[in-house]
Amino acid sequence: MNTCRFVCFFSCVALCLALLLHPLAQAQSAAAAPAAEVKAELPDARTLGAARMRFFGMDIYDARLFAPALKRSDYTASPFALEVQYLRGFDGSSIAERSLKEMRRIGNISPEKEKTWLDAMRQAFPDVKSGDRITGFHKPGVGTRFFVNGLARASIDDPEFSRYFFGIWLSPHTSEPKMRTELLAGASD
């Protein structure tokens, strides 16, 4: 009788672990491959790095950087994609406002540009929930193109915007230097 209970208990534990780990394994394998929009926009891109944003112990989002090649010292010279997969819900307007706050760390922005860029980001960023992805594509000399969950959402045709926006993660002036190091791990010097 005790052997039967032990086998039943062990079987239940094994089943529970298998059910819990299966989605984790799927998520890890999905995280390893670039999303369809990255493959379409940058067919030769590879994953350069990945990082998780945490704030006061809370997981905020996972970020991954894709590019065929990228120089750490001049990230704006080459095309690349930065994917942010949210781990909790946020209001799109809050994402835009926080982005502008972080962009100010990269350099001075005129009040007129701040207003223009904030309005553009409010249009580009919807409210997100856990699992949603926003992917931004840097086009050198052109600007930025945003996709949300694989669907084209908005373009901001301003190279300066693109430099400041992606500088949130990739500039030496970022507020998250550890994240920058992790994202640029596969970039050249």
Is 61 within the bounds of a domain?
Answer: yes
Which pLDDT score is estimated for 189? Answer: 86
| 26 and 109 both lie in a single domain | no
Same domain for 25 and 38? no
Enumerate long-range contacts of 61-68, CB under 8 Å, 24 or more apart: 61/85, 61/86, 61/87, 62/31, 62/87, 63/169, 63/179, 63/183, 64/31, 64/183, 65/169, 65/170, 65/183, 65/184, 66/34, 66/38, 66/42, 67/42, 67/187, 68/42, 68/44
43 and 125 housed in the same domain: yes
- Kindly report, residue by residue over 112-135, the tens digit of the pLDDT: 999 999 999 999 999 999 999 999
Residues ≥6 apart with Cβ < 8 Å to 189: 71, 72, 73
Closest Cα to residue 158, out of 123, 102, 120, 111? Answer: 120
Low-confidence ranges of the chain (pLDDT < 70): 1-32
Q: Are residues 63 and 39 in the same domain?
A: yes
- The confidence score (pLDDT) of residue 52 equals 97
43 within a domain of the structure (yes/no): yes
Q: Identify the CATH number of the domain in which residue 134 sits.
A: 3.50.70.10
Whether 65 and 93 map to the same domain: the answer is yes
- 16 shares a domain with 49: no
Its domain, for residue 3, covers 1-32
- If asked whether residues 38 and 130 sit together in one domain, one would say yes
Prediction pTM value: 0.82
Residues 24 and 45 in one domain: no
Q: CB atoms < 10 A from the CB of 51, how many?
A: 20
Domain for residue 189, yes or no?
Answer: no
Please tell me whether residues 26 and 80 are part of one structural domain. Answer: no
Q: Are residues 105 and 129 in the same domain?
A: yes
Q: Would residue 52 count as lying in a domain? A: yes
Number of separate domains in the chain: 2
Q: Do 59 and 6 share a domain, yes or no?
A: no
Asked if residue 71 and residue 5 are part of one domain, the reply reads no
**Residue-level pLDDT at 32:** 56
